[in-house]
Amino acid sequence: MTAEKSKKRGAELTHLDEKGRARMVDISSKRVTARAATARASVMMQEATLDLVLGAGIEKGDVLGTARIAGIMAAKKTSELIPMCHPIAITSVEMEFEVDRKASTITAVATARTRDRTGIEMEALTAAAVAALTIYDMCKAVDRAMTISSVQLLKKSGGRSGTFARDKE
């Protein structure tokens, strides 16, 4: 990357001012639009742990139910957790869980919506990440080596930056 190009892109690190100092960027003049974002986070675990979560050894438990609520509530805490995030009017949060037995993985998929001047990727990412951390917490007594990965934005619509959709991998 040439220095010039880099400088141009640097200007786009919107949460830094021209001196490189953190700020909450001014969105006063942006328009209110309907926005939606979907993000995911996957928890890789031992096969036996997955069995436990899905109820092989015990009555179908509250692991995923607890993770779903943790994720939804965490979306509402995004602007408290991420320093430069604006508080926004979240209008919806939904959490799904996809189980991949072959990969021994549970994937939390969060979709968040707003009608505001900014957002809503960080809310979706935070919901997915905290749901995954909650699964870790509920299972850590039997499987401390679980790993959370593929925390990423799947798609986003609304707002000036337009639509984003992750390529299939």
Q: Site residues for its own copies, window 92-131 (CB under 8 A)?
A: 92-95, 113-117, 121-122, 125-126, 129-130
Decide: 39 and 71 in contact? Cβ < 8 Å. Answer: no
* Residues of this chain, 128-167, that bind its own copies according to CB under 8 A: 129-130, 132-134, 136-142, 144-153, 156, 161, 164, 166
Do residues 132 and 108 make contact, with C-beta atoms less than 8 angstroms apart? yes
Q: Which of residues 4-23 bind its own copies (CB under 8 A)?
A: 5-10, 12-17, 19-23
Catalytic, 137? Answer yes
**Encoding tokens for residue 147?**
């790993």
24-53: which residues touch its own copies (CB under 8 A)? 24-28, 34, 41, 47-48, 51-52
Report how far apart, in Å, the C-alpha atoms of 165 and of each of 30, 32, 37, 38, 131 are: 22, 22, 10, 9, 22
> Which residues are annotated as catalytic?
137
